[in-house]
Structure 1
């Protein structure tokens, strides 16, 4: 009986400890259930709002263009060569001097040419006198017709040699073949100049050209007279306007390209500058546009995420022209639609979104830094 009372007392004393263990087990179970629910909610994208940035589809003018790069070249350039040999007595120009066509540039020693001309002049005077005498005798039939004809031919021969000597003497004054700027000089006073030796280079920088090698698919869109915009690294922040001067009608079979020559006024431009060129071949004054960043990168038809009622809705669109950072939307969107520009990677169709930052309309950005030739 006593052992029974001891056992009952021990059981009665252990009741608080059992209750505490049971209570801890229930709390642990509830905590685990709540944690699993939170983790499940966090893992489910459908219940988690993804922060995104958006831009509104808006109407604005947009242009279709072709961009490329090319060095500038002078439309007219001439290598000045010596047409006769001699010592350079005077060099009348320096690099950078502006010259006109026909202006003297270098004076060569003319003594040899003058002596040769004087010698031929004496021969010409003698033959002219003999021919006049022969002509009088021939009229009186006192000289054979053959001798008279021979004197005539000799006179013409010496007369031609005399004119050639005059020309050689004129070559001792080297003159500018074109108007322009002296780009280089390879002669100094006192140098002996050989015939046909280049001594100066003149460029006409009043009109510069840039030649683009354009893929043949653009042959139907590019034509003479189209406006051209040019930017060069040497003159940052400035834009120069020119025109398409001419378009080659033949496509090169090896490269599949044709030549498009753009012309620009010299102004501050210099030959040799490397330019980024943009040719606008069509314009639309009221096109619906969105930022280029809004386009999804996956393959297939073009599409964007549109924010509707706090959710991202994947929407297929039809694209038109591409102008810098803007793209034209022909079908699929309406003005004011908010398209996702940042945060697209974490989105899925129908997922919740949280728009951060102010909603902005698409704004054009200068695409002149695009150095590859492409149609936009």
Structure 2
């Protein structure tokens, strides 16, 4: 039995071989575990941010403002004589033409006055004809003949006035447009100059902007204007600048820009609140970044660019070393342990001053300071400083 176990027991040489194999494996495991822990430590101390890449797009320079729509022309239809309203021929919302009859007043009294004036006129015409015959025969003095002639002219004017007053019993539209308000009812007694209707001409509709003086040289007549209104969601109406006031109001420092819109669909109405955008210049296919990436401080425009952590080390600024002991002051014989070494993060934020051009509500044009492919931080800027280790999440352009 002893001889059997002695035959199969490992000797000193076998133990040496096993030891030689196990030690490197153990060291390798420790090294891999240390690397994983270092990477995990770097990730734990990184600031999560969102970043997007510089992209090319068309971008325009524009002025935006708000205004209330108003008609190009409007009129209040008023009565020129008094009387009872007998008939209404239009209602609110009806389209009318200039000269169209809108309502009718009681015309009995004006008609009688016209008949009376006409009878008096005929009598004086006969008197004047006989007076002329007598004057030619020298049976009537010139003074008497002139008096009859003057009376005839006065009566002719009275007749024309009576005829005009009779025509006023028909209320007509002074302009073409839409009946926006009816102010009376059938049977009402109408006084002279009392308003009966409001007519608005909605073609075109005007939007008047009060624009700051600094935009005086950028806006001009016939530039395209885009407008949206709160009550018509998802539709943009196109118009143009109809005229620009040549003077600046010294009290407000603004000038008036009148924009006009022709809406064939009839959906735009007077009094609507419009949001206007006037594009006065455009650059096509230029590098742009989201406006949320911009940092305005110390009179400069800057962004935080995301770069690999290894590039930051090569540049001489190792992230996470702020506040550590200067290596020159440490004893030369002191060695760093693996746990004392600062891990290198995958990504680092680098502040970069840039120059911007045109911009809209969401993006700005980059003239200098960035290249295509650079990624700028758009979310999490408040927690980032130059050299901060970051964990990058892809943002939305």
TM-score by length of 2: 0.76
- Written as runs of structure 1 = structure 2, the 5 A alignment for 1:250-329 is 250-266=247-263, 267=265, 268-309=267-308, 310-329=347-366
Residue 80 of structure 1 corresponds to which residue in structure 2? 77
CA distance in 2, matches of 1:141, 1:173: 49
CA distance in 2, matches of 1:69, 1:192: 43
CA distance in 2, matches of 1:62, 1:147: 89
Q: Is this contact kept in 2: 1:46–1:350, CA < 8 A?
A: no
Residue 339 of structure 1 corresponds to which residue in structure 2? 376
CA distance in 2, matches of 1:248, 1:158: 51
CA distance in 1, matches of 2:43, 2:385: 9
Q: Give the number of aligned pairs.
A: 319
- RMSD over aligned Cα atoms: 2.1
- Displacement of 1:134: 2.1
- Displacement of 1:118: 1.0
* Secondary structure of the corresponding residue to residue 237 of structure 1: strand
* Secondary structure of the corresponding residue to residue 302 of structure 1: strand
Q: Is this contact kept in 1: 2:43–2:391, CA < 8 A?
A: no
- Displacement of 1:197: 0.1
In the alignment, which of 342, 345, 349 is matched to residue 386 of structure 2? Answer: 349
- Written as runs of structure 1 = structure 2, the 5 A alignment for 1:192-207 is 192-207=189-204
Residue 365 of structure 1 corresponds to which residue in structure 2? none
- Written as runs of structure 1 = structure 2, the 5 A alignment for 1:217-228 is 217-228=214-225
* Secondary structure of the corresponding residue to residue 112 of structure 1: helix
| Residue range with higher mean Cα deviation, 287-296 or 141-150 | 141-150
- Displacement of 1:344: 1.5
* Secondary structure of the corresponding residue to residue 193 of structure 2: coil
- Displacement of 1:46: 12
- Written as runs of structure 1 = structure 2, the 5 A alignment for 1:110-259 is 110-259=107-256
CA distance in 2, matches of 1:195, 1:65: 51
TM-score by length of 1: 0.80
In the alignment, which of 32, 41, 57 is matched to residue 60 of structure 1? Answer: 57
Gaps in structure 1 of 5+ consecutive residues? 1-37, 363-376
- Displacement of 1:127: 1.4
